[in-house]
Structure 1
């Protein structure tokens, strides 16, 4: 595990293969757009709390969802058929990030790992054309959504939220649909969870993840705002 200092170049990280058993690669440094993009290109992402230094991770296993392998439950299919929600992309990025950063009832402390510093950086990445969001609306109210980064033919999911039943799942379904139509090969879900597994995410070794990442990054970055078809 390496310490990142003020003198460390923004593109410099240790190899993900040097990660601790928990997946920690490096500690420290300032969150900047350049450093975050460089980290993702090397299979690393930031994840830390307000009272911690910046922590950089490359966990094993790594959860990945291939767009054409998403699983839609019976109840979710029913929600899709009823069509009570409208779905958009990149129309309310900062609102989605703010909602994802809100208190979490499933957290013992009710806290969140999305710090003000991270929110500012990812909003900048959105303005640069790398950060994207999927929004789920019930009339004019934001009911759920997700956000992340797009590089090459990969999408790196950061967080999702739901204020109504199935809203975040709908966002993931539409992300997979959009990804499939636009040549995005995989959605990086970072840490495995039962929820993601139920929707089709699979766990990859670090070696396999870095292999598919290398292939994805050979494709050109599409630096522009998203617009869902139809």
Structure 2
């Protein structure tokens, strides 16, 4: 495992350990984050610890070239039709991040978000790289997600999502899947396996296959 210094570099993802941990240290500068995502690497660490950089094998993705990249249940269709949710994009990026931060979960069940990450990803949002999907009900933000849009690669790197009302985060994801499919994207990177993502239709692929997309 490499300890990063000031140099803008990462080791080859194939050198990651069995859990996907590739390196520690470095910073959350815009240039380093862009290099990381374009190299199939992402930061993920507990508050107060050094920055940890990951490139897991296998990789969890929503395959947008598949016939049904997301599992849409009858109840989810009813929610989208009947709950009067309004879907918006990029209108309150930082609020989405902070709502995701408030979701309590362990390191390998979701992205840990702290103030440094909020500042770094908000900078990425300002230059049009980090984006959010937001779900509103009665003018109140009730769900959403955010991630890194590698538009030229046809990959959206999903970071985290939250829901304060029934199916709000799932509807945000469904909207994103439809939007990206229409634009010809290849996949949504969901990073690491968990049961919730699997239930929504995400699948595991070899790291080398994912890196070939980049």
Secondary structure of 1:69 counterpart: coil
Q: Offset of 1:77 from its aligned partner?
A: 1.2
Which residue is 1:186 aligned to?
A: 187
Partners of 1:69 and 1:85 in 2: CA distance: 22
Given the superposition, is the C-alpha separation of residues 44 and 112 from structure 1 closer, same or farther in structure 2, using an over 3 Å criterion?
closer
Query: Unmatched 5+ residue regions in structure 2?
Result: none
Which residue is 1:102 aligned to?
A: 102
Partners of 1:144 and 1:53 in 2: CA distance: 30
Query: Unmatched 5+ residue regions in structure 1?
Result: 215-230
Equivalent in 10, 28, 35 of residue 13 of structure 1: 10
27-36 vs 78-87, which moves further = 78-87
Given the superposition, is the C-alpha separation of residues 112 and 177 from structure 1 closer, same or farther in structure 2, using an over 3 Å criterion?
closer
Query: 1:52 aligned to 2:49?
Result: yes
Which residue is 1:62 aligned to?
A: 59
Q: Offset of 1:81 from its aligned partner?
A: 2.1
Q: TM-score, normalised to structure 2's length?
A: 0.92
Which residue is 1:41 aligned to?
A: 38
Secondary structure of 1:65 counterpart: strand
Partners of 1:44 and 1:34 in 2: CA distance: 13
**Aligned-residue CA RMSD in angstroms?**
1.6
Partners of 1:78 and 1:18 in 2: CA distance: 46
Partners of 2:76 and 2:200 in 1: CA distance: 10
Partners of 1:180 and 1:95 in 2: CA distance: 26
Secondary structure of 1:146 counterpart: strand
Describe how 1:127-146 pairs up with structure 2 within 5 A: 127-146=126-145
Partners of 1:189 and 1:82 in 2: CA distance: 28
Q: Offset of 1:107 from its aligned partner?
A: 4.9
Which residue is 1:76 aligned to?
A: 76
Q: TM-score, normalised to structure 1's length?
A: 0.86
Partners of 2:111 and 2:80 in 1: CA distance: 29
Secondary structure of 2:53 counterpart: strand
Contact 1:63 1:192 in 2 (8 A): yes
Partners of 1:33 and 1:165 in 2: CA distance: 35
Contact 2:62 2:188 in 1 (8 A): yes
Contact 1:155 1:186 in 2 (8 A): yes
Secondary structure of 2:136 counterpart: strand
Q: Offset of 1:203 from its aligned partner?
A: 0.2
Q: Offset of 1:112 from its aligned partner?
A: 6.9
Given the superposition, is the C-alpha separation of residues 117 and 198 from structure 1 closer, same or farther in structure 2, using an over 3 Å criterion?
same
Over residues 35-74 of structure 1, what are the superposed CA-to-partner deviations in whole Å (9 max), with x where a residue is unaligned?
0110011110000011110000001111000235211012
